[in-house]
Amino acid sequence: MKITGIELRRIAMPLKAPFRTSFGVESARDVLLVRVVTPDGEGWGECVAMSEPRYCSEYVEGAADVLRRFLVPALPDAVDAHAVKRALKPFKGHKMAKAALETAVLDAQLRASGQSFGGFLGAERDRVPCGVSVGIMDSIPELLDSVGQFVDEGYVRIKLKIEPGWDLAPVRAVRERFGDELLLQVDANAAYTLADARLLAKLDAFDLLLIEQPLADDDLVQHAALARRLRTPVCLDESIESAEDAAAAITLGAASVINIKPGRVGGYLEARAIHDVCVAHGVPVWCGGMLETGLGRAANVALAALPGFTLPGDTSASGRYFATDVTAPFELADGHLDVPAGPGLGVEPDPGFLDEVTTSVEWLPLQPSGAAGRP
């Protein structure tokens, strides 16, 4: 497949409500979209990097810079998603930028061949169960109201963000209000240390599905030590950036569940490889979220339909975060989202709304025919 050029488009997506985690508060998403243009069509990818390097070292402006200066110029003349992965391998890090470029190429490739994202990845379901992530609140009554709303909307699993000082009390309150039948898990975003093991062990009383990333992302050994002291399964998120990382974590006993975020691991090809490693070792996986628009959500829902994704993911409906999405909204039905069946991502951005929320557009020609400007 020949690429005419690549568009880097920044959009500003206000959130319906601020979302607070242990590493900060977001009230809007500064999203970088990558559009690959070929003689036969186009493809889209969404970069999930945040505005500031808090979740990880990547951030939106840095992702745009590395795409512009290094990743896009490295693409070969004839390209598919596997060739993109090979071409970008020499560049260290920048997995979220790489994932956006790989996804856009894969979307264009699959649209041209008439194959769906789910079909390419190996999806076995046409809909997936959905959980929702609930941020840190100012009070427990506010938290209970929020969880109650999501339960009423039909979400099949609730994830609570926690941090030191906001852990046992909110979890206890949610469990007492909504009962043992509620599927409940917590996410610390690396906010604790091994010195907190005794405190974290008290979460065992609440019959949680898992505790996600309790310790630093670069310390598998201490996660393994913590896992031996908890009954609650330890799930890793930020620590897992590759299939090799997943294999190491499983071997060490650092994780009995893994959260796969395609942007964090460099794209959907690597995400599928991690899934395959986990399936081979009998380790359940689920699909995490990064407050994606409908473009990123479509790809995540397709990934979550693979057989190893046995736990509900953070693939929430569009309305969880955005009043209006850039694509037709993903809507919850009986606690599930449908897997798009059309070619490529199976969704299209709304040109009018996209222009409305666009803050900048940059065109990067790859061939002389594209140098005259944006098509």
pLDDT tens-digit map of 178-192: 999 999 999 999 999
User: Does the CA dihedral 22-25-28-33 come out positive or negative?
Assistant: negative
8 beta partners: 34, 362
Of the candidates 85, 98, 161, 202, the residue annotated as catalytic is: 161
Contacts (Cβ under 8 Å, ≥6 apart) of 117 = 106, 107, 110, 268, 298, 299, 302, 340, 344, 345, 346
The 10s digit of each residue's pLDDT in 93-118 is 999 999 999 999 999 999 999 999 99
Token representation of residue 10? 């920044």
* Superfamily the domain 5-114+349-370 falls into: Enolase-like, N-terminal domain (3.30.390.10)
- Rounded average pLDDT over 64-77: 96
Residue 68: DSSP 8-state? I
CA distance 224 to 202: 18
Please spell the DSSP secondary structure of 300-364, one letter per residue.
HHHHTTSTTB-S-BS---GGGT-SS-SSSPP--BTTEEEPP-SSBTS----HHHHHHHEEEEEEE
CA distance 42 to 300: 19
261: annotated active-site residue: yes
Which residue spans of the chain are classified as CATH 3.20.20.120? 119-338
The 10s digit of each residue's pLDDT in 232-246 is 999 999 999 999 999
Helix (H, G, I), strand (E, B) or coil at 274: helix
| Helices and strands (H and E) in the chain: how many | 13, 13
Stated pTM of the model: 0.94
Mean pLDDT across the chain: 94
Task: State residue 14 phi and psi, 5-degree precision.
Answer: -65, 140
Name which of 295, 15, 333 is nearest 153 in CA terms: 333
- Rounded average pLDDT over 160-184: 97
Which residue spans of the chain are classified as CATH 3.30.390.10? 5-114+349-370
- Rounded average pLDDT over 115-139: 96
Task: State residue 250 phi and psi, 5-degree precision.
Answer: -65, -45
CA distance 316 to 258: 18
89: annotated active-site residue: no
- Rounded average pLDDT over 251-272: 97
Token representation of residue 172? 């206890």
Q: Among 69-73, 107-111, 289-293, 367-371, whose mean pLDDT is lowest?
A: 367-371
pLDDT at 252: 97
Answer yes or no: CATH 3.20.20.120 is held by domain 119-338: yes
